[in-house]
Structure 1
Amino acid sequence: MEIAIVGAGIVGIATAYELACDGHRVTVYEQRSAAAEEASFASSGLLAPSLLIPWAAAGVGAASTSMLWGRQPAFRMARGAGRAEYSWLLRWRKAARSPSAEATLTALERLGRYSLERTRKLSALFEIDIETSHGTLVLLRGKHDLRKLQPVPDLLRNGGSTITEIDADTTRLIEPGLCPDIPLLGALHAPDGEAANCRLFAQVMRYAAQEHGVKFLFNTRVESISGHPVTLQVGGDSTPRRADAVVLCAGLASAGLLRRHGVNLPVAALHGYTISAPLREELHAPQGTVIDPVHRITIARQGQRVRVSGGAELGHGGGEHHAETLQKLYSALSGWFPGGAQLSSQQLQIWRGARPTLPDGAPALGASGIPGLWLNTGHGACGWALACGSARLLADQIAGAPMAMEIDAFGAHRF
């Protein structure tokens, strides 16, 4: 088939690769000038366990009032937030209390495990070093921190992941760079956890996709999609372009393209921040990934860099950085790992990006209900962690082949 993909983030690139490997003729349309320029540019890097990624799903700690309105909230309404953003926030909080919340988390856990397996296979196939670090720790200051994570630890264990509760001494043996002056009860330890460089992997996969015949059209905006037959209207073109199928992997733009077909996909831009700093001292830096569940901050090792990520903002904020959120990230990195990173380096990178998120935290994956139009979008904070698995599952569904797992929980019909 002739398949068009809208969006060249990690999800779009992975989808293009899988479909091309199945023998389809694939063209990727991207409005930016390069691949992986938006949510995939500087993600937290955490691949697994995906359910531990802060803001991964509404059912994890979302009902905590202090998380939204406390003295130091991890979530904020940015400048420009209006009725649509407050309405989405209400849906997000309702999703956290929904009877189906645990079923959604279970489906996300299975997708995360499957996607990690697929990512590992592709990394081995490409024979590349994507700056992988191993091991994930969720730091616990007190027993109340563990309660905020429920039911994730049990879901991970039920899925076959090794998740153990360890004391402070063992935690510091695993991460010897942790500041000895910060009180610590212990941690949840996921020894099989991984973090890696999403943008690096996306670039390598893009070249691999091109070797399989995929065409990438940058600076190309898809303005509308029509059916019967499927066509795309591209900005600047006088006539539409034909395709046998279209896959939407473009986050917020996906929702806009669906709206004219009567499909309301409630995607919101949940902005987050990352600070990437060069390594300063090996023994003082994180060896793997640590998560501060109180402030929903992740600190991950990526090769010779340390990346700290956090914050969640609804509203465009005028594109301006929120000084208090950035200060919280600086404080977390220097507080937990003093001397581990060069925070005054000219190579320091600060990034604010939108994570297209659906109210229940799960992506929209599979048939859209419109003939010839498929969805692989809205992965929120887990785009990197779920990309390769989502792409393979969608390719199998398009081919009518047996799938490794059911994806009914991710259907757009749930909204």
Structure 2
Amino acid sequence: MPHQQQIAVIGGGVIGVCTAYFLAEAGYQVVVIERLGNVAEKASFGNAGVVAPGYVTPWAAPGMPKKLLSTLFRPESPVLLKPTLDRALWRWVRMWLAECELERFRINKARMQRIALYSRDILQQLRDHHQLDYEQTRGYLQLFRSERDIALAQPSLGLLAEHGIAHQLVDAEQARAIEPALSAATPLAGGLHLPDDEAGNCPLFTKQLKTIAQDMGVEFHFSKTVTALEVQGKRIGMRIDEREFSADAVVVAAGIDSARLLAPLGIRLPLYPIKGYSATASIRNFDEAPQAALMDESYKVAITRMGSRIRIAGLAELGSVSTDLHEVALRTLAKVGEDWFPDAANYSNASYWSGIRPMLPDGPPVLGATPIRNLYVNIGHGSTGWAMAAGCGMVLADVISGRTPEIDMEGLTLARYARLP
């Protein structure tokens, strides 16, 4: 490198912080620009905490449209739809429906698992190297309330076998042996156990990595909003709170705000805000609490043990960009907690959260270079950002450094959306 190049990373979530860390490790001078007061305060803050490459799957899947329609108006539902005439939403829905075909599902899931498996390996290396403790647990159990849920999971089960991912389809008795505190009163048809998957406290990890990155020379600028990007010869210009700055390169990792920054530059992606929810409750009876992480497949809600707390997270609300708490969502989260671990916590006293997840209709993120010199993206991870963050950060550092990434980038770059108007 003729001089130490300065790279600006826009976004201080787990994606942006991992990107900054690996860029600093590669020898760059890195600044992170975040509009809030600390790292991991938006989508990274209240997520499920699951790092499960074996489970990572597109929301667009065979049978999913029918399943969602059948639950849309129930008192407790995995999906909420706020009536809206937003053309962007209905365009996104049309694209999503096209991706629910079996062959598209297989392609998208394979792409997501490729980056997620790589990311889990990188995360484990980070954890071992820096001796990190972020309340991590080992193992992931997917719960099927009905035979219909098992039938809908069949395409995913086939892919697990094809890719050599450790898994075991278990009956109800075996599932309760894996998680002894599971309530016997709640109907259970079976489960899928993924022993190598894991979970952990995403914001705690992100703050730990931020401290390490600062020790490596990364500068974090909080309460600063990037309002525009522009090309300035060989550099990328940024307007930050009405002032102009520039850097040798810029990585956009700003979640849903990324679409707003990229569109004026001619980079248009069908990135849509999907609202998610979580509830966090203190454990009052540790013998009745989960040991690791689980997924209620009927409600698409994860249950994660985080130290002395239980995190219940998931759901999807379309048509809303506010962080207001929807009563139906809170009721669904409480129901899932009470159904499976009724004596573990007082769910009525839980702390509730909602946040916006930037989701692409097909599922995989978009990584790497753009048509604009020295402008890069690390966006579109949906609800799986924590599962992909470390690997995506390493990939970006490789691409910017001119190294060939250790994984195949097919289907993970901007090229798959190149034909969009």
Match of 1:325 in 2: 329
Note the aligned Cα RMSD (angstroms). 1.7
How does 1:338-349 map onto structure 2 within 5 Å? Answer: 338-345=342-349, 348-349=350-351
- Per the TM alignment, residue 236 of structure 1 is displaced from its structure 2 partner at its CA by 3.5
AA aligned opposite 2:359: T
- Per the TM alignment, residue 76 of structure 1 is displaced from its structure 2 partner at its CA by 2.1
Moved more, 190-199 or 405-414: 405-414
Q: Are the equivalent residues in 2 in contact too, given 1:297–1:309 (CA < 8 A)?
A: yes
Give SS of 1:394's match. helix
How does 1:152-167 map onto structure 2 within 5 Å? Answer: 152-167=156-171
How does 1:7-156 map onto structure 2 within 5 Å? Answer: 7-49=11-53, 52-53=55-56, 56-61=57-62, 63-70=64-71, 71-72=73-74, 73-78=77-82, 82-97=86-101, 99-156=103-160
Q: Are the equivalent residues in 1 in contact too, given 2:301–2:333 (CA < 8 A)?
A: yes
Moved more, 93-102 or 288-297: 93-102
CA displacement, residues 166-193 of structure 1 (integer Å, 9 cap, x when unaligned): 1211111111111111222221111112
Q: TM-score, normalised by structure 2?
A: 0.93
- Per the TM alignment, residue 344 of structure 1 is displaced from its structure 2 partner at its CA by 4.4
Match of 1:404 in 2: 406
Out of 251, 255, 259, the residue aligned to residue 255 of structure 1 is 259
Match of 1:226 in 2: 230
Q: Structure 1 unaligned segments of length 5 or more: list them.
A: none
- Per the TM alignment, residue 61 of structure 1 is displaced from its structure 2 partner at its CA by 4.9
CA displacement, residues 133-186 of structure 1 (integer Å, 9 cap, x when unaligned): 121111123332122223222222322221111121111111111111122222
Q: Structure 2 unaligned segments of length 5 or more: list them.
A: none
Q: Are the equivalent residues in 2 in contact too, given 1:68–1:74 (CA < 8 A)?
A: no
- Per the TM alignment, residue 81 of structure 1 is displaced from its structure 2 partner at its CA by 5.9
Match of 1:375 in 2: 377
CA displacement, residues 220-268 of structure 1 (integer Å, 9 cap, x when unaligned): 1111112223233333444x32211110000222111111111111111
- Distance in 1 separating the partners of 2:221 and 2:63: 39
Q: Structure 1 pair 61/327, CA: closer, same or farther in 2 (3 Å)?
A: farther
Q: Are the equivalent residues in 1 in contact too, given 2:62–2:101 (CA < 8 A)?
A: no
Q: TM-score, normalised by structure 1?
A: 0.94
CA displacement, residues 287-329 of structure 1 (integer Å, 9 cap, x when unaligned): 1111111111111111111111121011226432110111011
CA displacement, residues 66-88 of structure 1 (integer Å, 9 cap, x when unaligned): 31353434222225562221221
- Distance in 2 separating the partners of 1:7 and 1:369: 21
How does 1:150-189 map onto structure 2 within 5 Å? Answer: 150-189=154-193
CA displacement, residues 327-375 of structure 1 (integer Å, 9 cap, x when unaligned): 0110110111110113244xx3210000111111111111112111101
Q: Once the two structures are aligned, what percentage of the paired residues are identical? A: 34
Q: Are the equivalent residues in 1 in contact too, given 2:78–2:332 (CA < 8 A)?
A: no
Match of 2:353 in 1: 351
Moved more, 90-99 or 294-303: 90-99
How does 1:209-288 map onto structure 2 within 5 Å? Answer: 209-227=213-231, 228-238=233-243, 240-288=244-292
Give SS of 1:233's match. strand
AA aligned opposite 1:67: L
- Distance in 2 separating the partners of 1:104 and 1:311: 21
